[in-house]
Amino acid sequence: MDFVISKKKENLLCLVQQILDEHGFCIVKGFFNRGDVIRLVQTFKNDFSAKNDLRWTGPYKYGMPDFQRLDLGDYAQINARFSRMFTNYTWNKEGPFAALINEMINFRNQLFSLTSNSHIYNINGENYCDLPKVLHYPVGGGFMNRHSDNNGPTPNVLLSLTKRGTDYFEGGVYYIDKQGNFLDAEEVLEVGDLYLHVQETPHGVRAVDPKKNIDLVSLDGRLAINLSAENFLFEHPND
């Protein structure tokens, strides 16, 4: 699996870029300490309440508050899904995953030579903001349809917060390589691993434990952090 690399490798940034160029996706093993991530996930689960679920939040806007949304249906990319999203905007109060997200942002920015000003990146004359979010695919069939991204100029960077075989037992993230082959990324991913893909790479999440009853009152199932740079609305970027 030449798309898998250890964080301990010398010239990590250069090697990750080479793998992305060759395959369109890359897995970085052991990016974060597994035990530390598990403890943060437990804190996150303890604070969770399904009563905070929203169904519609409108477009992303610079400076907006964080939200927790339950998604079920088709979206802008004709991208059907059944998942929860918890935003972690960099301009808001830091949550339990703030240190992990900041390190993910720093890694991404080093990889692609990005700098921000008041949380805004100007890339090719367009303004973008980071959208760090926790994604939850619930037990009972949480999924995301196969798609390619169109949400920004840089690859998406994700962090695995759960492990198949421990936190859930069926389904999970997959990629389609440049030869059209299906690759089950969950065979490789462990808690604390980073995985990246370029915008054009087809990917999705197969249904998580689809034979079990749907559970919307806990965070059982698959959890991951997703970091993307997206073209927000900027009515008042300096407020």
| pLDDT over 70 (residue 11) | yes
| pLDDT over 80 (residue 230) | yes
142-147 vs 172-176, strand pairing mode: unpaired
| pLDDT over 90 (residue 102) | yes
CATH number, domain with residue 164: 2.60.120.620
Average pLDDT of span 28-38: 98
Q: Which residues pair with 174 in a beta bridge?
A: 184, 204
Residues 6+ apart with CB under 8 A from 111: 13, 16, 17
27 domain-assigned: yes
Q: Provide the residue range defining the domain that includes 132.
A: 4-230
| pLDDT over 70 (residue 236) | no
237 domain-assigned: no
In this structure, the chain runs to a length of 239
Q: How far apart are CA 126 and CA 103, in angstroms?
A: 24
Measured between alpha carbons, how far apart are the two ends of the chain, in Å?
A: 47
The count of domains in the chain is 1
What is the distance, to the nearest Å, from the Cα of residue 65 to the centroid of all Cα atoms in its chain? Answer: 19
Across 25-43, b (16+ Cβ under 10 Å) vs e yields bbbbbebbeeeebbebbee
Place 198 in a pLDDT band, splitting at 50, 70 and 90: very high
Give the model confidence (pLDDT) of 173-193 as tens digits.
999 999 999 999 999 999 999
Q: Which residues pair with 226 in a beta bridge?
A: 133, 158
Structure tokens at 50: 């399904």
Check residue 226 and give its pLDDT: 98
182 domain-assigned: yes
239 domain-assigned: no
Give the model confidence (pLDDT) of 13-24 as tens digits.
999 999 999 999
Residues 6+ apart with CB under 8 A from 118: 237, 238
207 domain-assigned: yes
| pLDDT over 50 (residue 4) | yes
Average pLDDT of span 159-164: 98
Check residue 237 and give its pLDDT: 43
14 domain-assigned: yes
Angle between helix axes 12-23 and 98-112 (nearest 10 degrees) is 80
238 domain-assigned: no
Give the model confidence (pLDDT) of 48-94 as tens digits.
999 999 999 989 999 999 999 999 987 765 689 999 999 999 999 99
Q: How far apart are CA 195 and CA 61, in angstroms?
A: 27
Could you tell me what percentage of the chain is helix, strand and coil, using 3-state DSSP and rounding each to the nearest 5? 20, 35, 45
Check residue 233 and give its pLDDT: 84
Q: How far apart are CA 69 and CA 56, in angstroms?
A: 7
136 domain-assigned: yes
Question: What are the start-end ranges of the E strands in the chain?
Answer: 4-6, 25-29, 68-73, 81-87, 120-123, 126-138, 142-147, 156-160, 172-176, 182-184, 194-197, 203-208, 221-230
Q: How far apart are CA 101 and CA 103, in angstroms?
A: 5
Give the model confidence (pLDDT) of 107-127 as tens digits.
999 999 999 999 999 998 899
Three-state DSSP class for residue 1: coil
